[in-house]
Amino acid sequence: MIDWMEALVLGIVQGATEYLPISSSGHLVIAQHLFGLEEPALFFDIVLHLGTLVAVVWYYRKDIVELIRETLSGLRHLASGNSWKETLTSFPGLRFALLIVVGTVPTAVIGVTFEDTFEQLFGSVRIVGFMLMVTGVVLLLTRRSRPVGRSAEGMTWVDAVIIGIVQGVAITPGISRSGITIGAALLLGIERETAARYSFLLSIPSILGALLLRLKGAEDGVGTAALVLGFGAAALTGYFCLALLVRVVKRGRLSWFAPYCFALGLLAVIFG
């Protein structure tokens, strides 16, 4: 049973690490290990992820509404007999929404195909440590990205597939989803703001899909108070950390998180 203090700490850990590029899954494995929770509290973990999902939806609520509006308008334009090329040019929101769909496909394939393999990795603190150091390497590589890159209109379908594959790999505990997807986008030559926006909007169907998969066999062994506290802590912390990371990415400082990943990863390998 998780008490209120553990729920609060785990909620803050989830909220901070889901969007900062330091791996939420890796930190939750380490935190649960420190609390002596040998078996992951699966239902509680799902509730924490719902909290961070609320955070990203609220932060990008205007973008989401605009994407839905442009997608519906674009589909009506297409149904009126206009070509795909003309429609995608006239409605960039529809094109961006399709880029998210294209990026989601490889993530879903990897997640469904290797679900059991990834689940087994959650029991190893040392593997988490090694993967945190891999995340650190990717963050360091972003220092080589261009200060000015391609806008959303310049993103290609190949970009979306590559970032989607990278997001699928980030299911590995210790690999930061935000860090590796934003890092990949920057290294592909995409501008900073677009890289962050695409990464976080791409996370929405990914998180929803992962939660649906994990609902199978999830048992509620956690009290209501702990669930509410964990959810609230994850949502609030996630929102502010998301806003912080967007600012960091815009300033080209994503690599600042690399030393932390290296240090925590090394400690996890040594003492895990």
Give me the DSSP letters along 139-191: HHHGGGS-SS-B-GGG--HHHHHHHHHHHHHTTSTTS-HHHHHHHHHHHTTB-
**pLDDT surpasses 60 at 39:** no
d(CA 208, CA 162): 20
Q: What is the pLDDT of residues 70-99, one digit of tens each?
A: 999 999 999 999 999 999 999 999 999 999
> Residue 37 has what pLDDT?
59
> Residue 99 has what pLDDT?
98
Exposure letters 64-83 (e unless 16+ CB within 10 A, then b)? beebeebbeebeebbeeeee
**pLDDT surpasses 90 at 246:** yes
Q: What is the pLDDT of residues 181-191, one digit of tens each?
A: 999 999 999 99
**pLDDT surpasses 90 at 114:** no
Residue 64 phi, psi (nearest 5):
-65, -45
pTM: 0.91
**pLDDT surpasses 70 at 218:** no
- The fraction of the chain above a pLDDT of 90, given in percent, is 65
Q: Give Cα 71 distance to the centre of its chain.
A: 23
> Residue 10 has what pLDDT?
83
